[in-house]
């Protein structure tokens, strides 16, 4: 409690240092630097968990970008501070009882992550005998001379810890301006590790790999170390796909269908980019040095086209397209369309369309069931037909900071969320563009479903859904709770089960889970890798066996009534 109080007061303390843009010297020239006020690097006096409650009021810890060897932790402000707020934090963090040093980040281009600094900087002597001058100035300024770079004898590594300098930029500039030294280097913390793909626009795909906040993405790179979706067919029911797009064509099936005419092939209408954009998010080609990459970059796309304009037969046509898809080897059917939250249709339904969707979910994949995804909608209330059947995976959208997108529909029918704001993907004529909407979120989930099935094609639709929902990330600071009718973990009406996690999902696909819930009234044996029991009751003298390869997990309430038996193997 004491730590929490000290840190809270620290942020509100008085200040006198004014933040301003900075510069450093490169080859004798001043290079301007612009502070990125969203981030700080800190060196703490003790483990951050000792006062993490206090830090969480203002910052999130960027887990994957910490220098453990020097105990440097990257913090991200939860909201961008103004200049006054930022300078106050820089000044007062250094005086805190628990934080020793704070170091700035600097902006680069709009498409490139900002770069951090630390206590370290480098210095080059003019001559070897200048070590005498260096040692003198180091002593006067309390700078720590760490070591000489072994095979570069003119270069030294220094630290500002316990010195008169607040950061490496300030220190390196001072040493250079003395005129005694040949060069300096403020030791920017470059990220030289290779990207998981060579597609040049990958750093713009925050939904797959979020450089601003690595805790808010679908963990695609890790998932691709296991699978990339080969052998799985995803039907995209939309306004046509530009199938010759150079970042899509290698993953487009020769089999396609136009739902309006009831004939093959599908139709691409010039000027309609929506379907091409959706397709790129599912399956744009990876490692081809072109543009973007999809969530399941080795899956195959089956195009099912319809212009989606109002007509007297639109429901029958879409029903026919969905039925054609599951009868022509589609494993997943993704739909980024709906009735705009009932804005025009209120509570009117289509039996023929619903029948087609149910048939796909029950009869597709030789009875294992197609996975059907629908966009939740952008009108506040759920789109139809996304909400009519619990077996549909209904997808909402989040922003890059983990919060629900303001337009994203939510409510009791929401299952999962995915990146849906500023999503860069393919558009016709070999182009790319950034779109926002639950339409953009939905193909992320369809792609994850493809990754899951490529690992274990024998999974049923129910099992795939359970994997997607049970492995979701609880992001955004929302109140996720145990909810009746939601057996796959804690849930929230704005976020569903949370942000889809490709890596966790493909790991779980190797060890599928059977969810047991509700009332069990007859003899039955449940066999699977994992058995999870959620709010279940065994009654009516039923004899039940849980035969799990790994373990049986009990969540929520569980009761075995008198006369019934349970055996756990």
From the CA atom positions of the chain, what is the Rg in Å? 28
Helices (H), 159-256: 168-177, 220-224
* Interhelix angle 461-470/438-455, nearest 10 degrees: 120
* Contact between 210 and 393 (Cβ < 8 Å): no
Integer angstrom CA distances of residue 164 from 104, 117, 128, 177 = 17, 17, 26, 16
Catalytic residue, candidates 274, 277, 306, 444: 274
| H-only helix segments in 327-394 | 351-363
- C-alpha 293/C-alpha 345 separation (Å) is 36
DSSP 60-112: EE-GGG-BGGGTEEEEEESS---HHHHHHHHHHHHHSSSEEEEEEEE---TTS
CB atoms near residue 204 (< 10 Å)? 20
CA dihedral sign of residues 66, 214, 49, 4: positive
Per the residue annotation, which of 185, 199, 238, 258 is the catalytic one? Answer: 238
State the virtual CA torsion across 47, 92, 33, 181 in degrees, nearest 10: -80
Residue 439 known to be catalytic: yes
Q: What is the number of other CB atoms lying within 10 angstroms of the CB of residue 540?
A: 13
CA 520 – CA 501 distance, rounded (Å): 31
Cβ atoms 278, 439 nearer than 8 A: yes
Report how far apart, in Å, the C-alpha atoms of 294 and of each of 228, 400, 448 are. 9, 18, 10
Identify the DSSP state of 213.
-
Q: Which of 118, 211, 439, 517 is catalytic?
A: 439
Is 274 annotated as catalytic?
yes
Identify the H or E element spanning 145. Answer: strand 144-148
Residue 360 has what DSSP assignment?
Answer: H
What is 313-339 written as a DSSP string?
THHHHHHHHHHHHHTTT-SEEEE---S
Here the tokens at position 421 are 């704001």
Q: DSSP string covering 503-562, please?
A: HHHHHHHTS-EEEEEEEE-S-EEEEEEEEEEEEEEE-TT-EEEEEEEEEEEEEEEEEE-T
Active-site annotation, residues? 238, 274, 439
């Amino acid at each position: 409690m004491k730590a929490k109080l000290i840190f809270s007061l620290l942020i509100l303390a008085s200040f006198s240092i004014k933040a301003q843009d900075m510069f450093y010297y490169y080859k004798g020239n001043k290079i301007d630097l612009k502070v990125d006020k969203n981030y700080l690097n800190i060196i703490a006096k003790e483990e951050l968990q000792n006062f993490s409650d206090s830090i969480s009021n203002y910052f999130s810890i960027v887990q994957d970008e910490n220098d453990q060897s020097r105990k440097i932790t990257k913090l991200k402000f939860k909201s961008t501070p103004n200049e006054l707020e930022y300078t106050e934090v820089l000044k007062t963090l250094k005086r805190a009882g628990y934080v020793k040093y704070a170091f700035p980040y600097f902006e680069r281009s709009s498409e490139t992550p900002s770069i951090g600094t630390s206590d370290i900087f480098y210095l080059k002597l003019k001559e070897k005998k200048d070590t005498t001058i260096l040692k003198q100035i180091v002593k006067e300024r309390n700078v720590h001379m760490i070591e000489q770079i072994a095979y570069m004898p003119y270069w030294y590594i220094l630290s500002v810890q316990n010195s008169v300098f607040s950061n490496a930029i300030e220190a390196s500039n001072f040493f250079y301006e003395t005129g005694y030294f040949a060069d300096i280097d403020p030791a920017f913390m470059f990220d030289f590790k290779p990207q998981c793909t060579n597609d040049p626009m990958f750093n713009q795909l925050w939904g797959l790999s979020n450089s601003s906040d690595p805790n808010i993405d679908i963990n695609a790179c890790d998932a691709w170390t296991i699978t990339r979706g080969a052998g799985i067919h995803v039907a995209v029911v939309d306004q046509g796909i530009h199938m010759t797009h150079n970042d899509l064509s290698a993953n487009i099936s020769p089999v396609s269908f136009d739902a309006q005419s009831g004939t093959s092939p599908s139709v691409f209408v010039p000027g309609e980019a929506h379907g091409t954009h959706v397709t790129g998010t599912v399956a744009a080609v990876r490692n081809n040095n072109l543009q973007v990459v999809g969530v399941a970059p080795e899956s195959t796309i089956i195009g099912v086209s319809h212009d989606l304009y109002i007509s007297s037969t639109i429901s029958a046509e879409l029903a026919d397209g969905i039925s054609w898809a599951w009868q022509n080897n589609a494993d997943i059917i993704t739909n980024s369309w709906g009735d705009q939250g009932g804005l025009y249709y209120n509570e009117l339904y289509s039996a023929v369309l619903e029948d087609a969707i149910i048939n796909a979910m029950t009869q597709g994949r030789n009875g294992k069931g197609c996975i059907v995804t629908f966009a939740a909608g952008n009108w506040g209330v759920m789109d139809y037909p996304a909400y009519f059947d619990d077996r549909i995976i209904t997808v909402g959208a989040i922003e890059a900071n983990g919060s629900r997108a303001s337009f994203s529909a939510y409510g009791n029918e929401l299952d999962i969320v995915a990146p849906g704001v500023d999503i860069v993907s393919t558009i016709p004529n070999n182009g790319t563009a950034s779109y926002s909407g639950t339409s953009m979120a939905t193909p992320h989930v369809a792609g994850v479903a493809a990754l899951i099935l490529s690992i274990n094609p024998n999974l049923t639709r129910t099992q795939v859904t359970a994997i997607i929902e049970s492995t979701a990330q609880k992001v955004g600071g929302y109140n996720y709770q145990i909810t009746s009718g939601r057996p796959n973990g804690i849930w929230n009406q704005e976020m569903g089960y949370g942000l889809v996690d490709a890596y966790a999902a493909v790991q779980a696909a190797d060890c599928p889970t059977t969810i047991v819930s509700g009332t069990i009234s007859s003899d039955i044996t449940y066999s699977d890798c994992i058995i999870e029991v959620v709010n279940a009751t065994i009654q009516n003298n039923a004899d039940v066996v849980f035969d799990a390869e790994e373990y049986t997990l009990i969540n929520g309430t569980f009761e075995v009534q008198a006369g019934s038996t349970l055996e756990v193997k």
